[in-house]
Structure formats: structure tokens, C-alpha cells
Amino acid sequence: MVNQMAGSMAAEPIRVLLADDQALVRGALAALLNLEEDIEVVAQAGDGAQVAQLALEHRVQVALLDIQMPGTNGLAAATQLRQRLPDCKVLMVTTFDRPGYLRAAFDAGASGFLVKDTPSAELAAAVRSVHAGGRVLDPALAATSLLNGANPLTEREREVLGCAQSGKPVAQIAAGLHLSVGTVRNHLSSAIGKTGASNRIEAAHLAHDQGWI
């Protein structure tokens, strides 16, 4: 009798957190995942700053994080989550299929990376896979990432290009980063060479499109 009861009891659903600054997207993903009998969205966040605390409060097992969110982005949230709740698996889900994001996501502790136009059945399967300890990669993005190679920019070059992206003059970039104008020019020159661009604005755009900044 006891064995029959134990066999008939369903396993608890996988407890999932969704973080996306777009409420409609977040709601649609939650609705799709909640249709699955073995998955339950137990928490939602509109930005990365809430992720770690909500995950702790709701005993989250898998966190689906958008990369680009205001304030604390998905990569920073994943890093915080790894520190505070290391057993929670992270699945990055993003609109932007930039190959540089793939390496950054796994460096931040993610177990999977998918773009948002992934069919709902594949998204649910990805949740199950990372929960079970597997890794999930968007096939097209993985292939592109292998072809393009690793991010060639240093951390300082990424910072400088990130500032240059908005069109800030060199002197302003230098002041903001507490560097000399000459040092900033050297980093920009190096970044321009590595991206194959003709100027710093083009280099910033190219690096952004690759997901390097």
C-alpha cells in the first residue's frame, strides 16, 4: 500500500524564476512555462537587482535571466546568484543573438543560453536539462561563436569603448575612468585595430554587435 502511494505521487515541479524588464515578454514566458506540468514559475523580476533575493525567498531551482536589463543586467545577476544560491541553475534567454554574450554568460555561471524566439517546447526542455545538470546552447549562436572566437578586447578596452559608444570626447572618457587622455587614446587605438574599424565610434558599434561590450 505504501509503495503504491509513493509510486502515484508526482514529483514536485521545477521551481523557476523569470527576470526580464519587459513585462509582456516576462508574462508570456511565464504563461508558456506554467502550461508544463513539471514546471512552475514561482517568482518574477523586472530587473537583475531583485534576482538573488527572490531566488532565495522562493527556493528557486532554475533562473531564466534576460541579459540586457536596466541597472543590474543578467550577467551581473547570474554572478550574484552563483555566490548566494550556487545550486540554482541559470538559463540566459535573450533577444540579442550576439556571439560575445555566449562566453560572457558561461563565465558568469550560466548553464544555458537561448534566444527568445526559441519554441516553447524547446524552452521547457532547456529548463529540464539545466535542472538535471546539463548544458544548453542555441546551435546557431554556438556555431557563430566558434567561428568568431573569443572576445579580443581587454577589460579596460571594453570600458573605454563602452564610453565611446555614446560619442563622449576622449577627455570626458578619461575623466570618467580616472585615466590620462594619452592612456585612453592608446586603449582606443588598440581596440580599433582589434575590431578592424576605421574609428572609435565604428569600433564601439562593431564590438557591441558582437556582444563584446
Q: What is the pLDDT of residues 35-55, one digit of tens each?
A: 999 999 999 999 999 999 999
Report in angstroms the alpha-carbon separations of 108 from 14, 21, 83, 91, 194: 22, 20, 10, 11, 24
In whole angstroms, give the CA distance from residue 124 to residue 55.
19
Phi then psi dihedrals of residue 76, to 5 deg: -65, -40
From 102-106, 115-119, 139-143, the region with the lowest mean pLDDT? 139-143
Look up residue 190 and give its three cell numbers. Answer: 588598440
Q: Residue 146: its pLDDT value, please?
A: 45
From 41-45, 85-89, 122-126, 187-191, the region with the lowest mean pLDDT? 187-191
Binned at pLDDT 50, 70 and 90, residue 94 comes out as: confident
In whole angstroms, give the CA distance from residue 129 to residue 136.
7
Q: Tell which CATH architecture fits domain 155-210.
A: Orthogonal Bundle (1.10)
Report whether pLDDT(145) > 60.
Answer: no
Extended strands (E) in 50-185:
62-65, 89-94, 112-115, 136-137
Report whether pLDDT(93) > 90.
Answer: no
- pLDDT above 70 as % of the chain: 86
Report whether pLDDT(187) > 90.
Answer: no
Cβ within 8 Å of residue 86, ≥6 positions away:
none
Do 50 and 58 touch, CB atoms closer than 8 A? no
Report whether pLDDT(8) > 50.
Answer: no
pLDDT in tens, 105-136: 888 889 988 888 888 888 999 999 999 998 88
Q: Residue 141: its pLDDT value, please?
A: 63
Q: Residue 147: its pLDDT value, please?
A: 45
β-bridge partners, 76: none
Q: Residue 3: its pLDDT value, please?
A: 52
Do 170 and 185 touch, CB atoms closer than 8 A? yes
Tell me the CATH number of domain 12-148, given options 3.40.50.2300, 3.40.50.300, 3.30.70.3000, 3.40.250.10. Answer: 3.40.50.2300
pLDDT in tens, 161-185: 888 888 888 898 888 889 888 888 8
Report whether pLDDT(7) > 80.
Answer: no
How does the average pLDDT of the chain come out, rounded? 84
Q: What is the DSSP letter of 61?
A: S
Query: Do the domains at 12-148 and 155-210 have one common CATH topology?
Result: no
Look up residue 68 and give its three cell numbers. Answer: 540586457
Q: Is the backbone of residue 84 left (phi > 0), alpha (psi -120 to 50) or beta?
A: alpha
- Sequence ranges of the domains in the chain: 12-148, 155-210
